[in-house]
C-alpha cells in the first residue's frame, strides 16, 4: 500500500488493482502544491467522507476527466451524478460495497455535510462518514473523515480491525490533537496512525504537535508525513 498525504484530508492510495483519491480538495487548498495531473493518473476511484467543499473538492472535475467511480453517501452520490459524473456508487452508514480490488465500508462520523448553492442556500448532502478500505493482502485502513471522538469507535475497531488509522486533529471543526490521541489509544489497535485536517487554514491548528505529544508512550506508531510524501504501509 502506497499512501500519500495531499494536504488537509486528501490522500492518494495505491493498491494492487486500484488507484484511489480520498476527499480530493486541491483547488483552493493552500497546503496542496502538487500537480493534479500526477495525482489523477490512472485513477480508478474517488472516495468521499462528506460533502463539505474542503472534502468534495475537485471531485466532479476529476471524475469527468478520468472516468473514475465516485463512492459516497447516497445523497452525495446523487448530487455529483446530477453534476455530470457518469459513474457513482451510492452507500450509507454501515454498508459495504465490493469495488473489485478492495471493499469499502461507511462508518458513522459526528459532523455535518452540506453545500451552498450559487444563491447562498444550504443543501444537505446526506450524512458524514468515515471510510474503511479493505483489500486482500493489505492492511485495513480507516479514514475517520471529519469527526469528534465517540465511544462507538470501539465497535469500528472490533468489526473492521483497521491497522492504519487516519484521524482529524485540527480542532474547532473536528476533535483536536489531544482528543484524537485519546481516541487512538482508547478505542483502536492501530499499528500506524496518521493525523490530518490541520495546517490548512488559520482557524485550525497549524501543526500536529499536540497529537504527537499526546501519543507519547503509545505502542502505535505515529507517522506525520509532509504534504506530498508517500508512505509504504
Residue 98 falls within a domain, yes or no? yes
Q: For a pLDDT cut of 90, what percent of the chain falls above it?
A: 98
The answer to whether 204 touches 172, Cβ cutoff 8 Å, is yes
Kindly indicate the confidence band of residue 3, based on its pLDDT and cuts at 50, 70 and 90.
very high
Residue 161 falls within a domain, yes or no? yes
Q: In terms of residue numbers, what domain contains 99?
A: 2-225
pLDDT at residue 33, rounded to an integer: 80
Residue 11 falls within a domain, yes or no? yes
- CA distances to 45, 96, 126, 142, 157 from 164, rounded to whole Å, are 19, 18, 26, 6, 11
pLDDT per residue as tens digits for the range 160-208: 999 999 999 999 999 999 999 999 999 999 999 999 999 999 999 999 9
What is the tally of structural domains in the chain? Answer: 1
CATH number at 212 reads 3.60.15.10
Residue 233 falls within a domain, yes or no? no
Kindly indicate the confidence band of residue 72, based on its pLDDT and cuts at 50, 70 and 90.
very high
Residue 57 clears pLDDT 90, i.e. is over it: yes
pTM, two decimal places: 0.98
Please choose, from the candidates 9, 96, 89, the residue with its C-alpha nearest in 3D space to the C-alpha of residue 49: 9
Residue 80 clears pLDDT 90, i.e. is over it: yes
Kindly indicate the confidence band of residue 118, based on its pLDDT and cuts at 50, 70 and 90.
confident
Three-state SS at 24: coil
Residue 230 falls within a domain, yes or no? no
Q: Where are the beta strands (DSSP E) in the chain?
A: 2-5, 11-15, 18-22, 45-47, 69-73, 88-91, 96-98, 103-108, 114-116, 122-124, 129-134, 141-143, 164-168, 192-196, 221-222, 230-232
Amino acid at each position: 500500500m502506497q499512501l500519500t498525504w495531499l494536504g488537509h484530508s486528501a490522500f492518494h492510495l495505491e493498491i494492487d488493482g486500484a488507484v484511489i483519491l480520498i476527499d480530493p480538495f486541491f483547488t483552493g487548498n493552500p497546503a496542496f502544491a502538487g500537480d493534479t495531473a500526477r495525482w489523477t493518473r490512472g485513477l480508478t476511484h474517488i472516495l468521499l467522507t462528506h460533502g463539505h467543499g474542503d472534502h468534495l473538492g475537485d471531485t466532479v472535475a476529476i471524475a469527468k476527466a478520468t472516468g473514475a467511480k465516485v463512492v459516497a453517501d447516497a445523497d452525495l452520490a446523487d448530487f455529483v451524478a446530477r453534476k455530470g459524473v457518469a459513474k457513482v456508487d451510492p452507500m450509507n452508514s454501515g454498508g459495504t460495497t465490493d469495488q473489485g480490488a478492495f471493499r469499502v465500508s461507511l462508518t458513522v462520523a459526528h459532523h455535518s455535510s452540506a453545500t451552498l448553492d450559487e444563491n447562498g442556500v444550504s443543501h444537505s448532502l446526506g450524512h458524514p462518514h468515515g471510510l474503511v478500505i479493505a483489500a486482500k493482502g493489505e492492511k485495513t485502513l480507516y479514514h475517520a473523515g471529519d469527526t469528534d471522538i465517540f465511544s462507538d469507535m470501539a465497535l469500528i475497531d472490533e468489526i473492521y480491525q483497521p491497522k492504519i488509522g487516519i484521524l482529524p486533529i485540527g480542532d474547532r471543526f473536528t476533535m483536536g490533537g489531544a482528543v484524537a490521541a485519546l481516541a487512538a489509544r482508547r478505542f483502536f489497535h492501530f499499528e500506524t496512525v496518521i493525523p490530518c485536517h490541520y495546517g490548512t487554514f488559520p482557524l485550525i491548528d497549524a501543526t500536529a504537535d499536540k497529537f504527537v505529544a499526546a501519543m507519547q508512550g503509545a505502542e502505535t506508531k505515529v507517522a506525520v508525513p509532509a504534504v506530498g510524501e508517500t508512505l509504504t504501509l
